[in-house]
Amino acid sequence: MTRSIGEIASYHAHVYFVPGEASEASARLLREEVGDRFAVQLGTWWDRPVGPHALAMFQIAFAPDLFAGLVPWLMLNHKGLSILIHPNTANQRRDHVVDPIWIGTALPVDETVLADEDGEAELRGAVNTTPTVTP
Ligand code: ZN
């Protein structure tokens, strides 16, 4: 069955890094740069793997209408970091494992911790950035 993009309530970009290595500083800088440029919700800074994620990371939650601005910007400015971008629809496992895109090197995703049943699609949540720079 052909699916509608109306299924996508929001997107996440997960930015991965290794604590104590150069990638951590790159991720901190990228987080600042995104916050300066885009109205998004920047998530918790996790310095260890959590959930299905194989490395430390932070999450950028964003509304569907930001995709065409933010994702190309991340393509050009990811500083060598791996970034997982997935839609948020009703099925988390499918969103993370079957339907995502990667910027940089793709990493493993532990699908066993993700629900493979339909639930509520996750909305972006409250914007917690105040962009002042044009991307
Ligand atoms: Zn996510």
Encode pLDDT of 55-97 as tens digits: 999 999 999 999 999 999 999 999 999 999 999 999 999 999 9
Q: Which residues contact 107 (CB under 8 A, 6 or more apart)?
A: 16, 53, 54, 55, 82, 84
- Rounded distance from Cα 78 to ligand 1 centre (Å): 17
Q: At what angle do helices 67-77 and 22-37 cross, to 10 degrees?
A: 150
- Rounded distance from Cα 95 to ligand 1 centre (Å): 8
Whole-number pLDDT of residue 115: 84
- Rounded distance from Cα 63 to ligand 1 centre (Å): 13
- Rounded distance from Cα 84 to ligand 1 centre (Å): 8
Q: Could you tell me the pTM of the whole model?
A: 0.96
Residue pair 82/107 in contact by the 8 Å Cβ criterion: yes
- Rounded distance from Cα 133 to ligand 1 centre (Å): 25
Arithmetic mean of pLDDT, 104-112: 96
Whole-number pLDDT of residue 14: 98
Is it the case that residue 117 has pLDDT exceeding 90?
no
Find the distance separating the first CA and the last CA of the chain, reported in whole Å: 37
Whole-number pLDDT of residue 58: 98
